[in-house]
Chains A and B, each alone.
Chain A
Amino acid sequence: MIERNTYYPDYDVLDQIEEWDPVTADAVLKRLGPFPALEFLTGDEEQRLRVICKHLVYDNRDDIFDWVIHFIDQTLADEKGEYQRSPDAPPEKILVREGLKAIDKLAQKLYGNDFLSIDVKEQFDILASLQVGKAASIPEWSTIPQKDLFDKLLVLTVAPYYSHPTIWSEIGYGGPAHPRGYYRIELGLADPWEAQRKDVTEKEEDNGE
């Protein structure tokens, strides 16, 4: 894990929530839970997916992944459509469901165990091989294109992850800022309530830069 996970240890975007319009505040607060029971994913699928999501964004705080899983579950349960899909790939519900099964089968083939039981390094290796479409051959890949599966899981993970207020605080994002807006936008300026960076030089140094 990355030890130093923020330049803004004293900043919490939610301190500003009184300044947000109610529609936005409501949408953001819902990400903190509690979440209803899963609609689409089975318990087994949820467990595997949770580990994959954690690897994809390199974090392991379960409260954040409760939200990520809820978002993915809702997206897959809903019938709205997925913007676009490659003509060779099945609809996302099938892509994810069958893809999770295929990942387990791949783990069995390569390491003689299911995905959840293999080493973290082995789990990462499997994901890396999917990204470039070079995972060891199993028949499933003819109907579940590896890259489409990887990209789908990645996009389904980063959208909710980078919408979580804890992550916003860590990266120093100002958040909704409506109706207040921003006044000091030029180089070197920030509004007084925005994230202020601590120990600039120190961080740069131990970043090896």
Chain B
Amino acid sequence: MENESRVEKESYVQHNCDHYKDHRYDDLEHRKYGDKEVDVCIVGMGAAGGVLIHELSKAGLEVVGIEAGPFWDPQTDFASDELHAYSLNWQDTRLSGGNDALKFGPNNSGRGVGGGTTHFTGVFYRFHESDFRVKSTDGVGEDWPISYQDLEPYYDKIENDIKVSGPKHFPWGPFNGPYPYPEREPISAWAQVFREGCEILGIRSSVPPLAILSAPFDGRPPCTNRGFCNEGCKPNAKFSTLIHHIPKAIQEGAEVITDSMVTRVLVDDDGTVSGVEFNHDGNYYQQKAKVVIISAFTVETPRLLLNSACSQYPDGLANSSGLVGKYIMPHSGHDVFAKFDQEMRLYKGTPVMACTQDFYETDPDNDFVRGYTLNAHGNRPVATAKILTADAGYWGKELREIMLNFNFYAQITMVGEVLPQKKNQVTLSEEKDEYGIPRPKITFSYCENDNKMIEHGVEKANQIFKARGGKPAFVAADTGHLLGGCRMGDDPTNSVVNGFCQSHDIPNLFICGASVFTTSGGANPTETIMAIAARTADYIADLGKKGEF
């Protein structure tokens, strides 16, 4: 068991064990499935992990979920404050390079039960049919091994399970509503001017579908418009797997271990996986399982697979294609700001309250393929100042003057499809983290198609503002979400998992979550992540019933 790369316990950083100072989580002293080989072990309790553990335990399987971060209590751990919420993010340092180096932490990575869903904005779109076959229709990227129709019943299920609020008629894509709960209304000033600008230009707009309640459900109240969705919703109006799927899974018998970082996946002599090794408070433990699912997000999933290299799999697990960690994709997420004469008060309302997908599909008149969503976006002072400084380069007097006018700006954020490129990747660096695991190094650069699309999106956003009397003010290069790195496909030489998220190389190793995306689509991805997870859960439960593991 001992491994030379491990560091001494004394040198451990306290960060990865528990969230309260001087408080120690002691569940490892009274484990439910401690020495037992369970049916399924899931690494990462985020969007995908939450759906998986709930569905699999409902199906009667013995499931253990292991999460690196804490089990948050919204009442004591969340504050309605931007700075305070930093601890909800994956803070550990990642090396980030390339021409368009990505930002992590609050930009895309959650930590703790709920993963990214504790601090996501709740915008809840389905992908369109074309998203799954961009190679066939547009000659770029790769086709998915599954189609929209494969996911349709799971989209229905997820929306209904968490009571997505949305319009009676959503104008784009294969599903036009109605949603289980009514759309959010009223909408904020900054969303109103967006919709009015669109109307003047003949662009269709809508209130988006949101994983945020418009009426009470399951003991949870509707949204109070306080706008802190990215800081963790204290009233529990916003869905997260922390407050929905995971407590329900525990009720069904699942065990959830927190503050425990999985450091490697264990491999048997026959080449199958037998469980995982994890670290809690400096000590190593093992959990044996018949099936292992890794749903640790786009960076940590390939990192764990690569770090689990062993004599049978010297290049890392599930990596015979050499594609573990390759083809990662953010969404281009440029933020476009305009100044109005009236107060927009960006801080009020759910952060996204209006959108258009009129530019979603490939348009032969454009000099690029694929497309994007535009979201009218609210914001708060720290995030706005960070966009202005780190992304747009303002400081000193100019920064101060813009911020004194904070209440007069409106914002539109683009969610643009980014084409998959092999050189955009997660690899292991030379530097080690507190567990002695190599830090991930992420390299990212846009391609020409991405840049042309960004130019188009920024121009459209400015046109919408101008039509409604806004003065274009500044544009900040930004990204949202992160996908890929273990993409799904039918061809084992060209993908890491099949359409059911089962690794081509090791049949009892599954990979689920943002990392299996073959292409990025042009819309916020989490509903698709959760629909894929629900479909994977059905598949695994079925294998279990057939006695295949």
Contacts and interface: CB of A to CB of B under 8 A. Distances in A.
Interface of A: 2, 5-7, 20-21, 23-24, 27-28, 55-59, 71, 79-88, 91, 124, 127, 131, 151, 154-155, 158-163, 167-168, 170-183, 185-190, 194-195, 197, 204
Q: Which 10 residue pairs are nearest across A and B when measured between Cβ atoms?
A: A181-B224, A83-B105, A176-B80, A187-B189, A84-B96, A81-B92, A58-B400, A24-B79, A178-B80, A81-B93
A177 B193 CA distance: 24
A168 B80 CA distance: 14
B93 A154 contact: no
Contacts of B226: 176-178, 181-182
A167 B381 contact: yes
A187 B348 contact: no
A171 B83 contact: no
Given A84-B102, A181-B225, A187-B342, A171 B84 contact: no
B104 A158 contact: no
Interface string B386-422: 1001100101110111011111000000000000000
Interface residues of B, number: 74
A175 to B, nearest CB: 8
B429 interface: yes
Given A21-B80, A21-B234, A24-B79, A186 B407 contact: no
Interface of B: 13-15, 75-84, 89-97, 101-107, 186-189, 192-193, 223-228, 234-235, 341-343, 345, 347-349, 380-382, 384-386, 389-390, 393, 395-397, 399-401, 403-407, 429, 434, 441-442
A21 B84 CA distance: 14
B386 A155 contact: yes
B80 A131 contact: no
A154 B83 contact: no
Given A158-B389, A171-B407, A58 B396 contact: yes
A155 B390 contact: yes
17 contacts: A56-B395, A80-B91, A81-B91, A84-B103, A86-B96, A87-B441, A154-B389, A155-B386, A155-B389, A163-B81, A163-B382, A172-B343, A173-B347, A178-B80, A179-B224, A182-B349, A187-B342
A180 B224 contact: yes
B13 A79 contact: yes
B96 A178 contact: no
Contact of B393 (A24, A131, A161, A194): A131
Given A2-B401, A81-B91, A177-B227, 10 more contacts: A83-B105, A84-B96, A84-B105, A159-B83, A162-B384, A171-B404, A171-B407, A177-B224, A186-B188, A190-B345
A170 B89 CA distance: 29
A84 B93 contact: yes
A80 B93 CA distance: 8
A127 B396 CA distance: 10
B382 A162 contact: yes
Contacts of A55: 396
Contacts of A190: 343, 345
Contact of A188 (B101, B103, B189, B399): B189
B406 A179 contact: no
Contacts of B405: 7
B396 A23 contact: no
A29 to B, nearest CB: 11
Contacts of A79: 13-15, 434
Given A162-B385, A163-B83, A171-B404, A178 B235 contact: yes
Contacts of A170: 404
Contacts of A161: 385
Contacts of B396: 55-58, 124, 127
A88 B223 CA distance: 44
A87 B443 CA distance: 10
Nearest to A158: B385
A130 to B, nearest CB: 11
Contacts of A160: 83
Nearest to A58: B400
Most B CB atoms within 10 A — which of A28, A88, A167, A186? A186
A84 B389 contact: no
A83 B429 CA distance: 15
